[in-house]
């Protein structure tokens, strides 16, 4: 039976893969995949990795030495992989779409929670404090949502916004003229939007798409939402804007320095990352721990596609979900 070395294992991973897997021996490891832990894959032709694993040239070379032929990414993102180093050495297979509804719905949930101060109200009422002071929000109806990235998730999010009666504008390097979406350039989007939600991949062009210059164009009441990749936002610029009351608030499911922090229980540790420590303390910031994808439907799709990707590789079938270096 073919073996898969499964890195950065969480309880929900094991639950779903054990439930659906019938054909492989999966060796689960809590360690993240990185050069120092790659040796755990000895005896396996495939490894299964996640968004915060460190798959650099050293990791890849070590895996190749051990006879690993395939990296199975149980996620859509692959910006943590040194694709050039992997070229010609092993295959990279991913899950390009697992549930756009999961991420889009979480983004809207963050907006509602941030705008209507729901976490604050929940904490108050547990102490039988039913005061409404400080809980003022605004109607979403009639406001303008600026959506950066109109792939599957962005499209679902746009539909949700329209359901709330919002006007929608969008920015995408590949606009769909038949979609009925009003496309604008990013500067116009920054100026006009009451809410800005990020649904684009992390690329050279999108890294820090929200920076000091972008924030300077925004309304002082704007809410910024990121359920995509942490490095789309310059966190220090965001913190400065919050401190200086130049934006209304931020809701983040990702963070640019989340590796080694997110997905773990750090409640009994001193977190030395001062930026996220300050962000967490702000009353107009909500941070969730990269959980936007975490629904039953999404986990089923992630598991099934990941395992099918390996089946297709072993059977010599066309690899529709392969990621290749563009160089």
Please give, one letter per residue, the 3-state secondary structure of 296-325. Answer: HHHHHHHHHHHHHHHHHHHCCCCCCCECCC
Burial class of residue 148 (count of CB atoms within 10 Å of its CB; 0-12, 13-18, 19+)? buried
- Tokens 């396996």 sit at which residue? 44
* Catalytically annotated residue among 229, 246, 264, 282: 229
Q: Which of 32, 62, 256, 258 is catalytic?
A: 258
Calculate the alpha carbon distances from 284 to 25, 97, 119 in Å. 46, 31, 11
Alpha-carbon span 242 to 212, nearest angstrom: 12
b/e string for 212-237 if b means 16 or more Cβ within 10 A? eebbeebbeebbbbbbbbbbbbbbeb
Query: Which tokens is 173 given?
Result: 């390097």
In the chain, helix, strand, coil percent, each to 5? 35, 15, 50
Q: How far apart are CA 41 and CA 281, in angstroms?
A: 40
* Catalytic residue flag (residue 290): yes
Cβ contact 87:324 at 8 Å: yes
Q: Are 172 and 200 in contact (CB under 8 A)?
A: yes
Verify whether residue 229 is a known catalytic residue: yes
Of 52, 103, 77, the residue nearest 251 (C-alpha): 103
Q: What residues have CB less than 8 Å from 243, skipping those under 6 apart?
A: none
Which listed residue (290, 296, 304, 327) is catalytic? 290
Residues with a known catalytic role: 229, 258, 290
């Amino acid at each position: 039976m073919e073996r898969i070395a499964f890195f950065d294992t969480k309880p929900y991973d094991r639950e779903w893969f054990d439930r659906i897997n019938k054909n492989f021996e999966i060796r689960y490891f809590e360690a993240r995949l990185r050069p120092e832990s790659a040796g755990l894959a000895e005896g396996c032709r495939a490894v299964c990795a996640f968004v915060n694993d460190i798959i650099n040239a050293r990791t890849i070379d070590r895996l190749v030495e051990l006879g690993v032929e395939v990296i199975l990414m149980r996620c859509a993102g692959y910006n943590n992989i040194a694709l050039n180093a992997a070229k010609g050495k092993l295959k990279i297979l991913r899950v390009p779409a697992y549930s756009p509804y999961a991420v889009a719905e979480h983004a809207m949930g963050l907006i509602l929670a941030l705008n209507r101060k729901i976490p604050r109200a929940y904490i108050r009422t547990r102490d039988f404090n039913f005061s409404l002071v400080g809980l003022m929000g605004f109607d979403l109806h009639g406001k303008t949502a600026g959506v950066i990235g109109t792939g599957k998730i962005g499209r679902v999010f746009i539909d949700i916004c329209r359901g709330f009666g919002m006007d929608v504008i969008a920015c995408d390097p590949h606009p769909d003229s038949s979609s009925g979406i009003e496309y604008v350039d990013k500067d116009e989007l920054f100026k006009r939007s009451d809410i800005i939600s990020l649904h684009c991949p992390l690329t050279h062009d999108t890294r820090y798409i929200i920076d000091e210059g972008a924030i300077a164009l925004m309304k002082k009441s704007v809410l910024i939402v990121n359920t995509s990749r942490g490095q789309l936002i310059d966190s220090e610029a965001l913190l400065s804007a919050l401190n200086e009351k130049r934006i209304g608030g931020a809701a983040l499911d990702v963070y640019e320095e989340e590796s080694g922090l997110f997905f773990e229980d750090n409640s009994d540790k001193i977190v030395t990352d001062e930026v996220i420590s300050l962000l967490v303390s702000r009353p107009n910031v909500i941070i969730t721990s990269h959980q936007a994808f975490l629904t039953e439907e999404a986990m089923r799709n992630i598991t099934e596609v990941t395992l099918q990707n390996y089946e297709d590789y072993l059977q010599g079938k066309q690899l529709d979900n392969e990621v290749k270096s563009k160089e």
